[in-house]
């Protein structure tokens, strides 16, 4: 049986592919695909303006090819995990 962590990992991977396959390269996120992912899958996405997406894209796109590959996406997940952890630690105080 799948453990909660395994389930979470599958969700992280499947969410990437759910959006990366929409246009252009099937294995990378274009800016539009990244925007859709953030908007639909994260509560903060609702509040994010166009400038925020541009900035996020610039931060994540380490090799500057205007696409977010899976490795670059893991950088995003890592930053999100850190934020969640900070949130839990603050909540525990
Ligand atoms: Ca890239």
| pLDDT score recorded for residue 45 | 79
| pLDDT score recorded for residue 91 | 86
Residue 21: give the domain boundaries.
4-92
Q: Which residue do the tokens 């294995």 mark?
A: 27
pLDDT, averaged per 10 consecutive residues of the chain (93 residues), comes to: 96 98 97 96 84 94 98 96 92 83
Q: 29 alpha carbon to ligand 1 midpoint, in Å?
A: 8
| pLDDT score recorded for residue 18 | 98
Q: Which residue do the tokens 């590959």 mark?
A: 69
Nearest to 34 by CA among 46, 24, 20, 48: 20
| pLDDT score recorded for residue 44 | 80
Q: 40 alpha carbon to ligand 1 midpoint, in Å?
A: 21
| pLDDT score recorded for residue 14 | 98
Query: Do 38 and 53 meet the contact criterion of CB atoms below 8 Å apart?
Result: yes
User: 3-class DSSP state for residue 41?
Assistant: helix
What are residue 69's DSSP bridge partners? Answer: 28
Burial of 38 (0-12, 13-18, 19+ CB in 10 A): buried
Q: 26 alpha carbon to ligand 1 midpoint, in Å?
A: 13
Q: 66 alpha carbon to ligand 1 midpoint, in Å?
A: 6
Number of domains in the chain: 1
| pLDDT score recorded for residue 92 | 86
Q: How many helices (H) and strands (E) in the chain?
A: 4, 2
Q: Which two tokens stand for residue 1?
A: 């049986």
Q: 35 alpha carbon to ligand 1 midpoint, in Å?
A: 15
CATH number of the domain bearing residue 80: 1.10.238.10
């Amino acid at each position: 049986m799948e453990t909660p962590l395994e389930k979470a990992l599958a969700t992280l991977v499947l969410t990437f592919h759910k959006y990366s396959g929409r246009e252009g390269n099937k294995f990378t996120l274009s800016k539009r695909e990244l925007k859709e992912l953030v908007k639909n899958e994260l509560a903060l996405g609702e509040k994010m303006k166009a400038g925020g997406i541009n900035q996020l894209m610039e931060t994540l796109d380490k090799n500057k090819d205007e696409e977010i590959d899976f490795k670059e996406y893991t950088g995003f997940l890592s930053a999100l995990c850190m934020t969640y952890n900070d949130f839990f630690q603050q909540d525990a105080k």
